[in-house]
Amino acid sequence: MKATYHTIFIIFSFLFPYLIKGEDLKNEPSNQTSYFQTSEGRIAYLETGKGKRNLILLPGIGDRKESYAELAFLLEKDNTVYRFDLRGMGESDVSFSSYGPKETAEDILEFIREKDLKNVYIIANSMTAASAVYIRSKEKNRVHGLLLSGPFVRDKESLSFGMNTLIHLAFRGPWGPSAWASFYESLFPVHPPKDLKERSEKLKTNLKEEGRMAAVRSMLFAAKKECEEALPFASGNVNVVMGSKDPDFASPEEEAQWIAKTLDGSVKIYEDSGHYPFVEDPTRFSSDVKLLWQKK
């Protein structure tokens, strides 16, 4: 998410006078939540639908499994859909010693193997695109395709000391969850969903829980080196979806094309969409997911 760190200056200066104000919302019901136990803690997920394909939906940093609700509804008729909370996010535990794309990949690999899942397709956003690449490189016989949206799959330039310090300040302390919520809202620059404020408030409420912002900060600085090295072993049947106005990238289309070329995949550019195309246009997005098995 390096291309958007300039927005943190705006968020931090604008929000500082009143970031610590505001009321908490009640946590939304989670009657259907299941948990997968790893050696360091539990990973929360929702399982819906029933079908011969197993779809794994992975959110980005700071996001929750609930952000995929509309997409899951469109996919669960003919598929078994698993929506995950990452380590430290949503309803997952905060007891883990580390957080990042490889750690997420290892959690999902363990889940796939323990459940003996076959005919798997992974839909991933932002940082977890790197996780999806790593997963497929290790289990290509089980994982038949990837859809990567707003994807980060490689490390680029290192952050300066000043920018590094600023990020720590912006996302640390009592104002951290509010700063992240405002940053999240900025990732819908053209066509924000009607319930954006509600989504943002629920994220903020979740991130106020102890340990969750520390997990976010850890993910922000986590390297993708091992995931990037896995790129040559994860190619084929990959769709890359990128919003043309995704503020996380200096050139969204250029990055999408590089990823698609590297993974022998195809590109779909959503005009005027931001970092979360599956939220802005879930119907179109679901059609692009289905291309993974329809074109085989």
Q: Are 291 and 280 in contact (CB under 8 A)?
A: no
Q: Are 100 and 225 in contact (CB under 8 A)?
A: no
Q: Are 28 and 205 in contact (CB under 8 A)?
A: no
State the average pLDDT over residues 6-17: 44
The Cα 171–Cα 212 span in angstroms is 11
pLDDT confidence band for 2 (50 / 70 / 90)? very low
The pLDDT of residue 144 is above 90: yes
Q: What percent of the chain has pLDDT over 90?
A: 81
CA-derived radius of gyration, the chain: 18
Report the run of H or E that residue 144 belongs to, with start and end. Answer: strand 143-149
The pLDDT of residue 270 is above 80: yes
State the average pLDDT over residues 45-70: 97
pLDDT confidence band for 72 (50 / 70 / 90)? very high
The set of residues, in sequence order, having a beta carbon less than 8 Å from that of 107 and lying 6+ positions away, is 36, 38, 43, 87
State the average pLDDT over residues 163-185: 80
pLDDT of residue 156: 78
The pLDDT of residue 26 is above 90: no
pLDDT of residue 159: 53
Lowest-pLDDT range of 26-30, 85-89, 179-183: 26-30
The Cα 187–Cα 247 span in angstroms is 6
pLDDT of residue 121: 98
The Cα 137–Cα 101 span in angstroms is 14
pLDDT of residue 174: 83
Question: To the nearest whole number, what is the mean pLDDT of the chain?
Answer: 89
Q: What pTM value is reported for the model?
A: 0.89
State the average pLDDT over residues 141-146: 98
pLDDT of residue 157: 62
The pLDDT of residue 14 is above 80: no
The pLDDT of residue 149 is above 50: yes
Q: Which amino acid would we find at residue 169?
A: L
The pLDDT of residue 19 is above 80: no
pLDDT confidence band for 164 (50 / 70 / 90)? low
If we measure between CA atoms, which residue out of 21, 158, 43 comes closest to residue 99? 43
The Cα 65–Cα 203 span in angstroms is 11
Q: Are 150 and 248 in contact (CB under 8 A)?
A: yes
**What's the order of all strands across the beta sheet hosting 34-37?**
34-37, 42-48, 79-84, 53-58, 120-125, 143-149, 238-243, 266-270
If we measure between CA atoms, which residue out of 117, 162, 170, 171 comes closest to residue 139? 117
The pLDDT of residue 294 is above 50: yes
pLDDT confidence band for 163 (50 / 70 / 90)? low
The Cα 86–Cα 107 span in angstroms is 9
Q: Are 209 and 55 in contact (CB under 8 A)?
A: no
If we measure between CA atoms, which residue out of 123, 130, 131 comes closest to residue 149? 123
Strand, coil or helix: 184:
helix
pLDDT of residue 5: 44
Where does 2-16+32-294 sit in CATH, by number? 3.40.50.1820
Q: Provide the 8-state DSSP code for 269.
A: E
Handedness of CA 90, 96, 98, 100 (dihedral sign): negative
State the average pLDDT over residues 115-121: 98
The pLDDT of residue 38 is above 60: yes
